[in-house]
Structure 1
Amino acid sequence: MTEPLVNDQRKAELLSKQVRHIDIKSFDARPIIDQMEGMSFTSRDLARATRIYNQMLEDKDCSIFLVIAGSTSAGGCMDLYAELVRNNMVDGIVATGATIVDMDFFEGLGHKHYQAQEIPDDDTLRSLYIDRIYDTYIDEVALQDCDHTIFEIAESLEPRPYSSRAFIREMGKWLAKNGKKENSLVKLAYEHDVPIFCPAFTDSSAGFGLVKHQVDAMKRGGHYMTLDSIADFRELTDIKIKAGVTGLLMVGGGVPKNFIQDTVVCAEILGHEVDVHKYAVQITVADVRDGACSSSTLQEAASWGKVSTAMEQMVFAEAGSVIPLLASDAYHRGHWKTRAKRAYATMFDRAVQAPKG
């Protein structure tokens, strides 16, 4: 899409400072976490959450799921999540479509997120085709490149139903060949056979590209690929059944949180005896008083038969300020070095039609 006529100088001023993603390898958070363990309030909660995550990594039988909602990827945690995949510190991912598409895949194409040095009125931002996430900016024209690339990937595939995991794997394959960023979560997950699920996948920039694919295919009188949300639930439940002992590292809440927790109930309905998620950590600022699913505590989830209360910890904090400490501590303690690789993505491998052309 051709960029509209805008004030290019003003737009360049606002998009002048890129977000720098934190490098958990560049600092050792162990001394900080060790001291926080002797403190109170959120500091002690974070120290206990970090200890539980290290227990997940140390438990040779435990499969770990990273669960992400919110905008921490755009805000500077993108490389952090990539390092967890690169170093075998997570075995599966459940996330929002925005986290995977608008943020990670977007940067995999070579685009950037920007710090807002000033925030004019949002009508002005709209006139400049700048999208805002709190104090972070995205170039809308660059985001449309993301839409178009999703469309091209959809056009290249056999017209049949796909789970979001299967389609995101195709996105990772595309980035492995054509991407411009080594530390893309989608690309690394493809290369390390870590499955990514987005239960509300079209609630993202991908939705525009997929709608265009469907409309164009209908105009051609042909078939089109579709997303199968039931397959998402079934595949994730299949992993839970195979995994046995599981741990959850959850950033935010929302649909991804409930989706991964519900695999326990689904497995039981299918006639399998499975354990509740043995370990669970959730970092959130959600208020529990309104009874919303996103803000339900892990203790509440225990009443549904989803999570054990023995090794769980809620951390009520802005995730971007605490998840780097947790991840750096776990990286430097090094329990990941002796973990077995699960490669759960290979459970579902099947041939797909090669790209056209």
Structure 2
Amino acid sequence: MHLNVFTDNPTVPIDVKDRSVSELMDGMLKTGFQGRKLAESVQAWHNMLKQENMTVLMGLSGAMVPAGMRRVISYMIQERMIDCLVSTGANMFHDSHEALGKKHYVGSHLVDDENLFEHGVDRIYDVFAVEEEFRTADNLIADFAEEIGEISCSSREFMYLLGKELVRRGAAEDSIVVSAYRHNIPIFIPALSDSSIGIGLTIARRRGLKLDIDQIKDVDEVTQIVEKSGKTGVVYIGGGVPKNFIQQTEVIASILGMHIGGHDYAIQYTTDAPHWGGLSGCTFDEAVSWGKIAAQAKKVQVFVDATIALPIVAHALHEKCRELKRKAPIFNWKGPEGLDIDYRE
């Protein structure tokens, strides 16, 4: 083996000049460490969107909406940079809260939390929120659930109905839930009870409502998306339940004999590390051993705060995808007959 095998691709120092965000990302492909990984993630995401018969699933965890990321995710839905969203319930609750005109507030982590409690203010690191406003939203969800009545549905079906209700109430169009409703993007919340949406539904249950969120139906429906897609790419913001919920679709499909091979593209932005053994930090190489990620898949993990990465990545993709005529999947949910997928511009 010759030395030039290792030395035929020199790094190129970043120079400072007038250029776009996407041009900066292209320049960072020749740098090192997490800067290069961030640039590689943009490149991989852009290439993923150019693939035929590709379905992109995003896992969203962490307090991204309180931290100001909701319009980034909403934009990605509207521009079909993602086709399916798997989220924590908390993010979708906070999104609905803001969609109806309420706010989160710039705060500080250097504060007396007992004093905040006495004033009815909740803290998410350096972001504040008003507890009474949250409780109003909890009761709004309870009232909405009572209007739906006694049904059994997946979280996807529930979130579609919630999106429809938010539109009826004049919610902001930059809402994640509203954008998903408008663009027929499924939202799954596999741990919906672990959120203020779950609190609202518990209030409704105490009032006598029998509404069942069928989480096994969630597993079946999201697995159908993977089974019936030509190719699949995954993007994880953080890890947690949303990451594993998407990852396990490949295992389920393989057991059922419907789909073998693993996801074709995989991108993650995380601050978790693999050596603690948790799924949030585990590498995509490890996921290959489970059959969750294809061995030949383009795999990029960026160890970075997602509130830094997401705005940069979104702006770079905004510039790169202006001329892209993507054929995005159109989902047709046919009740007991299952799911049909068609790819259209």
> Please, what TM-score do these two structures have when normalized by structure 2?
0.88
Structure 1 equivalent of residue 25 of structure 2: 33
Structure 2 equivalent of residue 194 of structure 1: 185
Q: Is the alpha carbon distance of 1:269 and 1:157 closer, same or farther for their aligned partners in structure 2, counting shifts above 3 Å?
A: same
Structure 2 equivalent of residue 74 of structure 1: 66
Matched position secondary structure for 1:75: coil
The one-letter code sitting in structure 1 at the alignment partner of 2:80 is N
Higher RCO by CA contacts (8 Å cutoff, separation 6 or greater)? 1
Structure 1 equivalent of residue 100 of structure 2: 109
Question: Does residue 170 in structure 1 map to residue 157 in structure 2?
Answer: no
Question: Does residue 315 in structure 1 map to residue 318 in structure 2?
Answer: no
CA distance in 2, matches of 1:96, 1:150: 16
Structure 1 equivalent of residue 325 of structure 2: 338
Structure 2 equivalent of residue 267 of structure 1: 253
CA distance in 1, matches of 2:182, 2:260: 29
CA distance in 1, matches of 2:60, 2:76: 13
Q: Which residues in structure 2 correspond to 1:189-268 (within 5 Å)? A: 189-217=180-208, 224-268=210-254
> Please, what TM-score do these two structures have when normalized by structure 1?
0.85
CA distance in 2, matches of 1:93, 1:118: 30
Q: Which residues in structure 2 correspond to 1:77-96 (within 5 Å)? A: 77-96=69-88
The one-letter code sitting in structure 1 at the alignment partner of 2:88 is T
Give the CA deviation at 1:66. 1.5
Gaps of 5+ in 1: 1-26, 218-222, 351-357
Matched position secondary structure for 1:294: coil
Q: Is the 8 A contact 1:173 1:190 kept in 2?
A: yes
Structure 1 equivalent of residue 11 of structure 2: none
CA distance in 1, matches of 2:201, 2:127: 26
Larger helix fraction of residues: 1
Give the CA deviation at 1:113. 1.0
Q: Is the alpha carbon distance of 1:284 and 1:43 closer, same or farther for their aligned partners in structure 2, counting shifts above 3 Å?
A: same
Matched position secondary structure for 1:63: strand
Matched position secondary structure for 2:328: coil
Give the CA deviation at 1:226. 0.9
The one-letter code sitting in structure 2 at the alignment partner of 1:82 is S
Q: Which residues in structure 2 correspond to 1:48-67 (within 5 Å)? A: 48-67=40-59
Aligned residue-pair number: 317
Matched position secondary structure for 1:338: coil
Gaps of 5+ in 2: 1-18, 337-345
Q: Is the 8 A contact 1:153 1:170 kept in 2?
A: no
Give the CA deviation at 1:180. 3.1
CA distance in 2, matches of 1:34, 1:92: 27
Structure 2 equivalent of residue 347 of structure 1: 333
Give the CA deviation at 1:336. 7.5
Matched position secondary structure for 1:76: coil
Runs of 4+ more than 4 Å apart: none
- Is 256-265 or 290-299 further displaced after alignment? 290-299
Q: Is the 8 A contact 1:113 1:137 kept in 2?
A: yes
The one-letter code sitting in structure 2 at the alignment partner of 1:149 is L
CA distance in 1, matches of 2:126, 2:196: 20
Give the CA deviation at 1:335. 6.3
Q: Percent identity?
A: 34
- RMSD over aligned CA atoms reads 1.7
Structure 2 equivalent of residue 126 of structure 1: 117
Structure 2 equivalent of residue 15 of structure 1: none
Give the CA deviation at 1:325. 1.4
Larger strand fraction of residues: 2
The one-letter code sitting in structure 1 at the alignment partner of 2:163 is G
The correspondence for 2:270, drawn from 267, 278, 284, is 284
Give the CA deviation at 1:157. 1.3
